Structures are given as structure tokens and as C-alpha cells.
Amino acid sequence: NEQFALNMQWYFRLLFFCAVVPFVESQTFRFGEVQWTKCSAGFYDPYFPSVCSNRTNPLSVGVTVNAAWVKTANIDTNMVQKISDEVTAFNNGTSRRLTLSRAPSQPQVTRKIGWRNGLGDASTLPPVTSVVNCPVPPCSTDVTSSNYGDPENYYFAIDRVSWTYDGQTVYARYSFQLTFSSAGEYTVYFSGCCRASSYTGVQNNYANGFYVRAGIVITAQLKPSIPASSIRFQMPDEVIVRQGGNGYDYGSCSATSASLLRFALQAYHPEDAYMSSIRFRTGTVNEMGRFRCLEWRTNSDGSTLLLVAGGPGDSASNRVCPLCVSGATGPRCDSCPDQRASNDPAEACYWGPTGVTVEDSGVVDVDVSAVQSGPWQLSAVAYCVGCFPGASGEVGVTVDFLVRVVSTLGALQLNDKTLDSAAPVGLYQGSAAAAAHPFPVPPPLTTRDNPLVIQCGRGVFRWTAPGATSPAVEVTSVPVIFYGPNDGRGACASAIYGIKEITQVNDLPLGVSLTSTLANKTLGSRYFSWIPRCEIYSNVGVFMFCFKAQDTSGVYLVSTASPVDVGAAASASPSCLYVRSLPPSTDPIPPPVVKSPPAPTDACNAGCCDCCSLATTCACQYQGNCCPLLFLANQARHRITLLAVDSNTDNSVDWSVTYPSRVSTNVGGYTLPGPTLLPTKLGCQQALAACASQSTALLESCSAAAFDGCSPDATLAEQAATGLVWDLSNQTGYVCPASASSPGSVGGWAPCSSTATNSTKVIITPYLVCYKALQLPPAQIDVAAYTQVYGRGPVNDSCTSCVVVRVEELPFFVDYEPNNAPFGTQPDGTAFQIGLGRSLNINFMVGSSVVDSKARASILPDPGAPAGSVLSDVTKVDFRGTADGKANLQVLTFTPRPSQLGMIFWLCMAALESGAVSSPRCYTIEVVQTLVAWTLTRPCPWYLLFSGGASDGAGSGGIGVTGDCPNTGGIEVRVGCHYAYNFSAVASTDVYQLEIRIDSTPSCPVGFCGPDLPALSV
């Protein structure tokens, strides 16, 4: 029986070997990590936009799996079977999709993305389905959708394709949403099989499964007091170190004696409060992948069983993973360190690279004297100390990558500042590229506390050197520079090689743009620019932009990730730049500024009263909100120019102008076209600014010429100019009946002379023109999403300004309105009242389209003006509706005489200029007399009270007597009593001041006073 069991054990091994080897030999998985952010904290992945589209559930998280595979030909047994074709489609710009085979029918290699209850090794499978099938359930059935899912495949999105030691590597990610049923502790994971086989040179864990995971603690608060996101690793898929040291770049140079090479794990926490709490350690064998071997199996009845090594149900036939991964010549368990330690032939074979340790600070020490050349799989864990009070265990994230030890010498460094004047960096300082960027060369050494700072919605980076007193440097693109160290390049006579390529290490935020690599023998550079999108939470916050470089001399000359000197606590030449993207300011957004003049008005008067000058019965004309007037004349061409400038040069400006397309008149059927809106021109501020010093009379012509002569500049989109043109040159102010073929005929009428037979005077109905400057955000901003996130839009238009356009003959009366107060002419038909001893002043304001007009108001002889009237000389006053910004003001003063009391006079006025006469305006003036009577005087005299008059029920002497009190009466008073009397009178007009006084010389009416009574009267 023992022999039979042993034979069966090897039989199962052989079956697994035969089934798995074809899969193993074709696998190229080389990197993996998992990260998460609560939906309420703003998770967003532009490749998977459905994930966290609703941010209101505090139990929802967005999770991203980042992974990398070497590009091969299409191989059916590869977990990315169509990688060659899909990379071609990606390079052609037709698709980002990378299909990952899940292989659900082959449990030995099944790839799964899912979640578990609990943290780390203590986590368990939940009683519900916990395997992810698509980004957000329910899964879409549209194969082109980013939310498409099926049980056979995961559909990753390719982020980039770049070079590695093994050739082209494909970097892709898969984002999905989990909504948990309750707050608690969870683990999300990405697992499967297999890693690359030993034939690829991998020294450990070859052909084994992988298992990367991240712990999550969920609370029910939208804004929890614990981290709302995980730590982010920004590691390359492979870190190369050289046994001869990182200081030399060519094989003929002497190696250093140091055997310890060090580099930093590139990781950060998006939330400032937790950055200093990050700690690191080497991953356990379970975190290298062994955990998936113990995860579960399916029983014959369909139930699942969690396996624990040596626990119930654990046997060779029940393991999901291989018992001991076999190589080409047979089992390799004898070389597995943890296998030998446990002395358990049933253990899968996982072990970390000998001589490689991860310090608590995140520095990785590689003893190159103890580590065999070749790539080694390394799992590292980052966790947050004290960040999750009460958690049952460590809340960490795992990264799975390669460390390649090569015997060839050399290294490249990013933005190092240690070179002396003889270093190759001197060549860069003298180049045109350096002169274009005010950053110090090399670029700034950023830290978490002193990052590059950029405002979302804008494309300007700011950086201040530590302790600097000068203003911050501002640039729109940041250089990334790599070069060979001075002690290597300077020492090697054959060191003529240059930088071949610089590439990003991590997925960069949406919208970051990278230029191509610029090589200059020993130095290479790239530039990145960015306009963060405020409405996307994932574009706001702190980021690490990490890079690596390759030398032209060979694939082994690749920069080491943030190399750390022996004895140093951190890297002096980090391969990453810190960038902080700020959210939008909470201050009000400054709108575009309407430059005026020459605009007729820049008042914020939307909804102003547009009928003030149309009729005396206008409902709103006395509410103090009359629209300003713009007067135009017939037989002339008129034009206004509008300019607006935005202080934010990242915004664009345009104009919104409303006006009627046709204008009505008093002649039935005869209408005129409205104004013509000129096309908007960008970048004309400087041209129009030259007109600011011109007189008002020349503003229109100067602005028109400047606008017409301006060449638009699309790079100055924050400056926008437009204009309105009225062509009334063919309008005479009169029309005659005409056939449809007559020039200018509209509705059976055509312009004609005022003296023509059957001519009819045309009165154009005044109409409203309104305009405002529109602030347009950068094209990439989703205005609806921005509004949803911040509760307000990303733009702020200028206020709306309106004017009423009136076409008048020359000259014309300027109507009174609050904008012209205290001047302006009262409407036709106004009735005035004046009393004796007072003077009436009536303003007459006359406008004209003639510069320096001599127009004036004149009293028409019929009916003339009342005696005592005087019309003043002309005074020039400011008025924006005329050609030169001036109007002529005259005042008619009338002081009535006693003989005119009670009389009503007519007054008619006309505006005159060079023989032209306006329509008359006529008024009435009444010299009023006033009748005065007592009213509501109480108490009435005693005789009326006791002569049968009605009482209010108060009894004898009550005060509710009806009827008027007579002008004379007597009041009976008694000694020792207090009395108060009311006296009230009313006048028939309000032109006089009414007073009540005590008569200084009273007399007693006959019959009311006796010789024993004092005389009293009022």
C-alpha cells in the first residue's frame, strides 16, 4: 500500500508535468501589483470609465491590477494568447485591448481576479461568488465595451509598450469595482499560473503560480478617518544591478570592490497624512505565489474546500498547484530552500533570491557576491504603520518584479547633481534645449515635501528650491535627463556611447504628454507636460513620475531604480519626480473682462427696461432700470467693436450676442435687417489697445481699423474681439410704394425722398441688443463632470450688457432715463404743474451723429411758450450714444406770475441742426391754485356735539361725530383737566407747502364768547 501510494503520488506529478509544461514554457509574466481607492475618494480610470461612476456608496472601491508581459508571437498556450496581434493594434492606435486567458477549465493554471474576507494569509473565501468577471456588474454583452466580460477571458487595457532586457514588454492594467455588503476587512488579489520557466533564465519560482494582493479596510463613512486608498508602487518590471558596481558603464573599466548594491523601492501614499507611515519588508513564500496553491479545490459535489498545508483534505491529488515544480531533467525540489527546511515533499517550491533583503525603509540590498547572475523574482510588501487602528493584521500591498544581476559593468542615473565642470553635463548647458528651460540643469531634485506644483486646469509647473528667496520657477514642460556618471564616462577611452531611450516606469496620469527621447552622446532627455483635469479626482493630488534609461551600447546598460549609496538612508539620484496637482481654488472664478470703450456699455444690466423711450405708459420706466440707448442715424454706416480678455491664459474666450434678424417699423410690411455680427478674432488686444488714447469721436473708426487689420492668433485664445455693423446708408427715413423689383423694396415699399409723392415717414421700432463674453474651458475638461464634483462649473462668463438701439433723424431728443440723470428730455405729452413763487426747469438734451454737433432745442412759435419762459444756451454734456460721446443740453425755466394763476399753457419744442428738424415734443404747464379745508379735526366744537350729531357710542362728548367741523366753534374745558386736540387740513394740490399755525391775533365770533370768557381761536 505504501508503495502504491508513492507510485500514485509520482503519477499525479507526471500528469501535472505533462499538462503544465506546455503552458509554462510559453509564459512571460514578469510584473504584477494591485492598488485600490474608495469610489467616494474619487477613483477614476479613463480606460474603464464605468468603474466608480457613482461615488455615493461608501462601501464601493475601485481596484486596479497592473501587470506586464514580454511580447512574443501569438501562442495558444500563452496566458496572453493574442499579444502580438493586439500590440500591433495598439501601435496602430485602433485598440488597447489585451486578452488574458482565464483558463477556467484548467485549475492548475486558472487566472483569477477576486476578493476574500479578512487580511493576508488569514483571509478566507466568502460564501458568495467572489471572482470578478467584468469591471462593473452586470457585464456588458457588447464586445467593444470596456465593461464587457466573459468567463473565458479578462480584457486588460494596454498602457504602453517599451523595451526591456528581454525585448519589448507590454504594460497593461485591469480596473474593476467592488461593492461590499458591509464594512470590514478584505483582500483583493490577482493570481494564476504560470511564471516564466527556468529556460528563460529565471533563477527562482520559475514556472510557479503568482499571487499579488492588497489589504482593504472599509468603513461606512464617505470620508473616513483611515486611508481611503492604498500605497502605490512605482517600480519597473525589472531592476538591473551590476556585479562590478553601478559606477562604470563599459567592460574595459575597472570594477569597484564593493559587493553590496542598493536601490530604493519606489512607492508612495496618495494621502499626505500617511506618507511617513509606510514601511517595507520582503514578501513571504505565500506572497510569492504559494498561497494560491492552498486556496481551494472543487469537490465532486461542487462544494469548495480551503486547503491548509497538512490540514484536512490536503493531499497530492487535492492541490490546485503543482506539488513541486519540475524542470527539464526532473524534480527540482532539492534546490528549494523552504522545501529543505520543512522536509515536506508535498510543499510547492518557492523561495526568494539569496543575498537580497528589503530594509524597513524600502532600501533593497543586493549582495552581488552572493547572488548568481540572472533574473530573480522578488516580492516586496509595503504597509502602513498605525494607519488602520483596530485592524486584525497588517494592511499591505504586494509588488512582484524581477531583479537582474549582470556581470557587465555600467549604470545610468537620472538628474544627478554630482558632476564637475568637466562632466558631459556642460555640453547640455550650452545647448538650445537648456536655454529654453529655466530649471537648473540637471532638473530639480524633488521630494514629497518640495514637489513640482501644478494647478489643475492649467499647464504651468512651479518649483521653489529649498531655502530660496527668489520667486518660484515656472515652466510648461519639465526635462528628464539621464547620463553616464563622470567616473565611468571620463575613465573609459571607448566611452563614446549615448542614451538610446528614456521611458516611463509607471502609468502616468491621464493627459501627461512625453516628448520623444533626445540623445546627445553621453546625455539624453525627454520633456513632459500636463494639464491636469480638475473634474477627475485621479488627476488631483500627489504623484510620482518615475523613469529609466537605456544606453546605446547594450541592453545591460539600464539605469538602476533610484540607486542608494552604501551607508546612505535614501537615494541621492532618485529615478522619480514628485508632482503635486492642486484642486481648483474655492475663490470665485474671475470672468473675462469686457474692455470698454468702445463697447456702448459694460454695465451688468440683463433684464433692464427696454421700453423707457417708447411710451409714457411703459410699466418699468420709473423703476430706475432703463437700458442705455445707442442712437443711430439713417444714411450712415455704424459699427461697434467688442473686446474681452481672460486673466487665465489656459481659457478661451468667445462672444454671445443677441439681436433681431429683422427690425419692424411703423409702415406695415416694411422691415429692415438687424445688425451683422463680425467673426470673432483671437489675439487682438494689443491692436485694439492703441485706440484707448483716442478721443471719443475717433474711437469707432480707430477700433474698426484695428479690428480689420488684426491677424488672428489662435495661441492667444484668451483674447476675443468681435463687432456689430449697421448699414443704414440706403435708408432715407422715408419710403414710397414700390414694386418688388425696385431697389431696396421690402413688402411693397422702398426708400425714397421725404419730398417724393406718397412718401411715408419711417419710424424704426427701437430694439434690444445684448452681449456677454463667454469663458471657455480647455477642450479636455468635462464640464458636466466638473460641475458634479465641485458643485459649480469650471467657467464664469461675464455679466450680460444690453442697450436699446434707436434710429433717429438728425438731430434727435435724448430721452430722460436714470442713465442720463439729471439730464435727458421728458417724453412727449408730459404734464407739468407749477405754483406761484416757484420756478419750473425743463431739460432738453439733443443728440446728433455729427461730431461737434451744433444741434439745439427750439421753441416752436405755435403755440409758443408761456410768458416768463427763458431757454438757456447750449451746454455740452457726456453721452455715450452719439458719435463724439457728447450731447447738447439746454434748460427752459418758467416762473409764473400771479396773473397766470389757474391757467394751462402748451409748450412745443423741436431739435434743429443745419435745417434738419426733429419731430416736435409738446407738453402742458399748469399754474395751479390750491383750495384748503379742515379735515379729520377732533374734537368738534361743543355745540356740534350736542346738537343731535351722531356719536360713536362713547356717550356725550364722544369723538366719532360724522360730518365736517365748521371753521368756528367753542370748546368747553374744566379747570384741572388735561386736553389734547387734533387739527388736520388738506390742500387740493401738492405744489405748495401746507402749514397749520396758531392765530396770533384771534377774535371771538359773535355769540360764542361772553364778557366772562377769554377769547380763544385757532
Q: How do residues 744-755 score in pLDDT, each as one tens digit?
A: 899 999 999 888
**pLDDT attached to residue 603:** 77
pLDDT band at 622 (very low <50, low <70, confident <90, very high): low
Contact between 520 and 558 under an 8 Å Cβ cutoff? The reply is no
**pLDDT attached to residue 12:** 39
pLDDT band at 721 (very low <50, low <70, confident <90, very high): very high
C-alpha to C-alpha distances, 355 to 365, 409, 451, 996, nearest whole angstrom = 8, 19, 34, 114
The contacts found for 674-678 with CB under 8 angstroms, 24 or more apart, are 674/767, 675/724, 675/725, 675/726, 675/769, 675/805, 676/724, 676/725, 676/726, 676/727, 677/722, 677/723, 677/724, 678/707, 678/722, 678/723, 678/724, 678/725
In whole angstroms, what is the distance from residue 491 CA to residue 85 CA? 45
| Listed range (242-246, 342-346, 688-692) with the worst mean pLDDT | 342-346
**pLDDT score of 807 more than 90:** no
Contact between 459 and 531 under an 8 Å Cβ cutoff? The reply is yes
Phi, psi of 241 (to 5 degrees): -125, 155
Beta bridge partners of 65: 34, 174
H/E stretch holding 367: strand 363-367
In whole angstroms, what is the distance from residue 709 CA to residue 726 CA? 20
Contact between 609 and 626 under an 8 Å Cβ cutoff? The reply is yes
**pLDDT score of 962 more than 80:** no
Cell 531655502 appears where?
467
**pLDDT attached to residue 780:** 75
Contact between 517 and 524 under an 8 Å Cβ cutoff? The reply is yes
Cell 409738446 appears where?
922
Query: Per residue in 419-448, is it b (16+ CB within 10 Å) or e — as a string?
Result: beeebbbeebeeeeebeebebebbbbbbee
On the CB side of 573, how many CA atoms lie within 13 Å of its CA? 27
Beta bridge partners of 988: none
H/E stretch holding 714: none
Beta-carbon contacts of 882 under 8 Å, excluding residues fewer than 6 positions away, are 631, 847, 848, 849, 853
What pTM value is reported for the model? Answer: 0.66
In whole angstroms, what is the distance from residue 1000 CA to residue 567 CA? 113
**pLDDT attached to residue 417:** 30
Average pLDDT over residues 362-371: 87
Beta-carbon contacts of 849 under 8 Å, excluding residues fewer than 6 positions away, are 631, 632, 633, 636, 638, 810, 882, 883
**pLDDT score of 703 more than 80:** yes
**pLDDT attached to residue 163:** 75
**pLDDT score of 459 more than 60:** yes
Cell 510557479 appears where?
208
Query: Per residue in 362-397, is it b (16+ CB within 10 Å) or e — as a string?
Result: bbbebebeebeebbbbbbbbbbbeebbeeeebbbbb
Q: Which three cell numbers stand for residue 941?
A: 366744537
In whole angstroms, what is the distance from residue 31 CA to residue 310 CA? 31
Average pLDDT over residues 890-904: 92
Q: Kindly state the DSSP code that residue 894 receives in the 8-state scheme.
A: E
Average pLDDT over residues 51-68: 94
Other Cβ atoms within 10 Å of 468 Cβ, number: 10
Phi, psi of 409 (to 5 degrees): -85, 165
- What is the Cα 3 distance to its own chain's centre? 74
Which range scores top for mean pLDDT: 137-146, 314-323, 818-827?
Answer: 137-146
Contact between 918 and 910 under an 8 Å Cβ cutoff? The reply is yes
**pLDDT attached to residue 1013:** 52
**pLDDT attached to residue 872:** 92
Exposed/middle/buried for 282, CB within 10 Å: 0-12, 13-18, 19+? middle
Beta-carbon contacts of 11 under 8 Å, excluding residues fewer than 6 positions away, are none
Rounded to 5°, the CA angle 509-515-519 comes to 135
